[in-house]
Chain A
Amino acid sequence: MTGDSYNFAYLDEQTKRMIRRAILKGLAVPGYQVPFASREMPMPYGWGTGGVQVSAAVLTPEDRFKVIDQGADDTTNAVSIRSFFQRTAGVETTTATEEATVIQTRHRIPEAPLGEGQILVYQVPIPEPLRFLEPRESETRKMHSLEEYGLMHVKLYEDISRHGHIATSYAYPVKVEARYVMDPSPIPKFDNPKLNDCPAIQLFGAGREQRIYALPPYTRVTSLDFEDHPFEATKADHPCGLCGAGDSYLDEVIVDDAGGRMFVCSDTDYCESRQRQSHRGKDAA
Chain B
Amino acid sequence: MQTQTLEGGFTAPAEQAAHAFRSVMEAMARPGTIHDIAGAEPPAPLSRAAGAVLLTLCDTDTPLYLAGALDCEAVRAWVSFHTGAPLTGPQSCMFALGNWDALAPLDAYPVGTSEYPDRSATLIVETPELAAEGVTLKGPGIKDSAALSLPETAAFQANAALFPLGLDFIFTSGARIAALPRSTEVL
Contact = CB atoms under 8 A, between A and B. Distances in A.
Interface of A: 1-3, 6-9, 13-14, 16-18, 20-30, 32, 34-35, 57-61, 141-142, 144-146, 177, 179-180, 199, 201, 214-220
B10 A3 contact: yes
Interface string B50-65: 0000011111011000
B118 A14 contact: no
Interface in B6-39: 9-10, 12-15, 17-19, 21-22, 24-26, 28-30
A24 B55 CA distance: 15
Nearest to A146: B114
A8 to B, nearest CB: 3
Most A-side CB within 10 Å, residue of B14, B15, B55: B14
A216 B141 contact: yes
B25 A24 contact: yes
A8 B15 contact: yes
B29 A201 contact: yes
12 contacts: A1-B9, A8-B14, A8-B18, A9-B14, A20-B24, A24-B25, A25-B118, A32-B164, A145-B115, A216-B141, A217-B29, A218-B142
B127 interface: no
Contact of B22 (A14, A22, A60, A144): A60
A201 B25 contact: yes
A128 to B, nearest CB: 13
Contacts, number: 134
Given A13-B13, A201-B29, A30 B183 contact: yes
A28 B168 contact: yes
B15 A61 contact: yes
Contact of A30 (B13, B61, B114, B140): B140
A57 B120 CA distance: 21
Contacts of B61: 14, 17-18
A22 B139 CA distance: 20
Contacts of B182: 28-29
A60 B21 CA distance: 9
Contacts of A146: 114
B114 A145 contact: yes
A217 B55 CA distance: 26
A216 B84 contact: no
The SS class assigned to the A binding surface is mixed
Given A24-B122, A145-B115, A13 B17 contact: yes
Contact of A29 (B19, B58, B118): B118
A24 B24 contact: yes
A215 to B, nearest CB: 8
A18 to B, nearest CB: 7
Contacts of B176: none
Residue of A29, A30, A144, A201 with most partner-chain B CB within 10 A: A29
B25 A2 contact: no
A17 B56 contact: yes
A21 B14 contact: no
Given A3-B14, A145-B114, A20 B56 contact: yes
Nearest to A1: B9
A201 B56 CA distance: 20
B141 A29 contact: no
Given A18-B61, A29-B117, A219 B140 contact: yes
A137 to B, nearest CB: 10
A214 B17 CA distance: 21
Contacts of B55: 2
Contacts of B56: 17, 20
